[in-house]
Amino acid sequence: MFLAYVTERGHALIDRELYLPQAWTQDQERCQEAGIPDWVGFQTKPELAQQMLARLEMAEVRLSWVVADTVYGGNFQLRQWLHAHGQGRAGSCSMQ
């Protein structure tokens, strides 16, 4: 998964997370062969997106909009987190 920062002057990929399906995280041998640390567990795509957005917040990167597809926009916990962190104002959060 990638997080892009977009302005009228251009865009840049500024963060990333590796999404691992649950079938992978439940197969320790497969994870070892792929070099995935034992501490890595299953996380949904919205959970990974929230981690990336939290890192932006910690770095004091200001956002006007958060845009994503329905996998993220349909996730109540992510939408709730966005609202709690000032991204749920009318017109500033487009996750449909």
Under 8 Å between Cβ of 39 and 52: no
Model confidence at 4, pLDDT cuts 50, 70, 90, reads very high
Q: Is 1 exposed, middle or buried (0-12, 13-18, 19+ CB in 10 A)?
A: middle
The pTM of this model reads 0.83
pLDDT of residue 88: 60
pLDDT of residue 68: 87
Total Cβ atoms within 10 A of residue 10: 7
Q: What is the pLDDT of residues 40-74, one digit of tens each?
A: 999 999 999 999 999 999 999 888 888 888 888 88
Q: Where are the domains of the chain?
A: 2-95
